[in-house]
Structure formats: structure tokens, C-alpha cells
Amino acid sequence: MSRCPGLSGKNGPLANSGNACIAAGMNSRPSIACFGAAHWDFIGQADPGFSGPDRPGTVTVRPGGVAVNVAIELAAQGCRTELLSAVGRDRDGKALLAELKAAGIGTSLTQVSEALPTGRYLALEDETGELTSAIADCRAVDALSVGAFNNIAAATADYWFVEANLPTAVIQDLAFVRPRPPLIANPVSPARADRLQPFLDKIDILYCNRAEASALCANIFPTAADAARDLTTRGVRRAVVTDGPEPVCDASPEGIFIAPADPVGFISATGAGDVFLSRHLAAVIAGKDPSSALRAALAHKGKERA
């Protein structure tokens, strides 16, 4: 773990936003409202030793969407989580909400569409777990409009997590709410990063990988550290940038912290970055310093790649 000087200031971005981090050992459970996609993941992974378009393998079905993945992981870490998304009034939607409730996630603020189906995400991975192609059918979330989450109980949450599967107009609505809790954000993919770009100076913590950072900043960065530094000059209060097996960087007014990533291979790329994000955020909320937060997140990374 190394620290590079470069950013000044005694307080972290959450403290600067007017909300103190939850200290480790406190009796109260921090609450997080997670805004974004909710769907079923269908993940097909090819068996090794075969080639061609028709290959044997395994197909896994599980709840998915960045907001869902983060909510599940944070709930497992002891946080109170609420999902704000959209599903269809169909069998898939009922099953998804039931599974999330069983995981301890609040779903009362998730909208139910009468006209559009619950989303599905189809991912194809090779035998190493690398994503080769994917199709996302998220029409219920795509149809959310300005005011979709106005006047909601999420305003009482300690933190908001927003991801770029939401339409830009909805992200704008949330970014400009005043007063609001600290805003944590994730661009989801380079293709959707432009949805966050206009609101970088409203973000308290941004989690992304190096490719997403390049899309956000319209620049090519050789390392995660270069990307994190650049993001903080654009108004992001704290930027945590991953780069696959390369070092991870956390840049904020407390300094620039760099940690080596686990070089071990991984099982599946789908959702792996969301696990790292959630574990790191849980450590931040618990009051861990930047070096300790990175160590905590990377210790759980195992065979997942961010």
C-alpha cells in the first residue's frame, strides 16, 4: 500500500458534505437508498476445451443490476438498504421483489410498471469468466422520468447510491436535490458514463474502473491513479478507480492511496466490480481510513475482478 501526496484537506468527502461517517462500533445501522437497475441476470459461461458458436456450459440465474448488487452486499454488511427501481407487474417482478425482501432489502419504494416487463440481462462469458457479449432489456427502468422519485422516504437515508442505468433526467433530479445525503455514484459501463458526466461536481464518492473514467473525462489514462487524480480536479470529492489486475487508487482530500490488486484469476466478471464497491463503501461508512478501506475491499475480492 502506498500513499502519494497531492490532495490537501483534513476531512474526507462525506464529512465535507455535512454528514459524518458512521463510526465502527456504533449501535445504529447506517441506511443507504440504492437507485438504479433491478432485473434478473442470466449468465452463461462456456466450459473449457470447446470452440465455436454452440458450446456446452452452465447458465446461472440470479438477481442483478448494479443497484441490486450493491444493496444485497451492503445488507450483508449490516446496513439498512432500500431499493428504488422499477419492475413489471409480472411473475419475474414478484419473484425478484420477494428474493430481495428475503435478503433484507426494502422494496416499498420500487415502482411497478403495468405496461413494461421486469428487466432481464443476458451475459455470455468464456471459460475464464471474461464477458464476451451481453444484452440488457431494462425497459421498465429506462421509462422512468423526471420526478420519478420525488417526495420519497429515501430522503431520510444516511447515504444515496446512484448508478447510470437510470435515465439522465432522473440522475439530474437526484443530483440537485437539496438537502440530501452524501451521493455515491457508479457509471456502470463506458457506454453509460456520459449520464454522470454533467454531475461530477455533485458526487461525494465515485466508483469506476479506468475505462469508465476515460469515458467520463474524454481522456485516456495509463493508470487508475492518473484517472482518480483527474476526476478530483473535475469536482468529484473522492474517486476510487480500479483497473482489473492492476493497482487500485483512492483519491480524496486525505491524499492519494494506491494498493496492488489481487492477481488471482476470477470466476465471473459479471457483478464483480459491484462487490468491490460495496465492500469498500461499507468500510468507509464504518469509519475506516483510506488505506484500511482498500485493504478491506481487496481482502474480499478473492476470485472477483473489479
Any domain includes 304: no
CATH number for the domain spanning 175: value is: 3.40.1190.20
Any domain includes 219: yes
Any domain includes 305: no
Any domain includes 223: yes
Residue-by-residue pLDDT tens, the chain, 306 positions: 544 433 333 334 454 333 323 444 445 789 999 999 999 999 998 888 787 778 888 899 999 999 999 999 999 999 999 999 999 999 999 999 999 999 999 999 999 999 999 999 999 988 877 888 899 999 999 999 988 887 565 567 999 999 999 999 999 999 998 888 999 999 999 999 999 999 999 999 999 999 999 999 999 999 999 999 999 999 999 999 999 889 999 999 889 999 998 755 554 555 567 889 999 999 999 999 999 999 999 986 544 434
pTM over 0.75? The answer is yes
Q: Provide CB contacts within 8 A for 225, sequence distance 6+.
A: 4, 241, 247, 249, 251, 256, 258
Any domain includes 139: yes
Q: How many domains does the chain have?
A: 1
Amino acid, single-letter form, for residue 199 = F
Quote the domain boundaries for residue 19.
2-47+57-299
